[in-house]
Amino acid sequence: MEDNAKLLESLLVKVTDYGKTSLELVKLKALDKTTDVVSSFIPVSAVFVIIASFMLFLNVGLAFWLGEILGKIFFGFFMVAAFYLIIGGVLYLLMKNWIKKIACNYIIKLLLK
């Protein structure tokens, strides 16, 4: 009977250790996936900031140039804003689901990698 108790106690210790190890493994896998996803967004974010800065200065220059042509500086800014309003509306209507699908697939691909 004592052997059975020791065997049961040993088995219980091993099951507890296995459970703790499995939990730790799940935590480490989750951490790995999280760091992989976050680290993949950092270079994309840096490139986005650079492109956004370029576009900002390009659009301000274009607005001033159009403003000089039209006679009033603010007309140039209105023209650039109207252009982006039209482009934004068209993109929103035509590609709303398409862009969402691409972003979701990219994140899922990173998580399942």
pLDDT tens, position by position, 4-54 = 778 888 888 888 999 999 999 999 888 888 888 788 788 888 999 999 999
Higher pLDDT among residues 84 and 98, named by residue: 84
The confidence band for 1, taking pLDDT boundaries of 50, 70 and 90, is low
The Cα-based distances of 17 to 26, 74, 113 in angstroms read 14, 71, 28
From CA 107, how far away is CA 3, in angstroms rounded? Answer: 53
Higher pLDDT among residues 28 and 99, named by residue: 28
The reported pTM is 0.56
From CA 53, how far away is CA 59, in angstroms rounded? Answer: 10
| Mean pLDDT, the chain, whole residue set | 88
pLDDT at 62: 96
Residue 113 DSSP code: -
pLDDT at 99: 78
Residue 64 burial (CB count, 10 A): 14
The pLDDT of residue 92 is above 80: yes
Higher pLDDT among residues 53 and 95, named by residue: 53
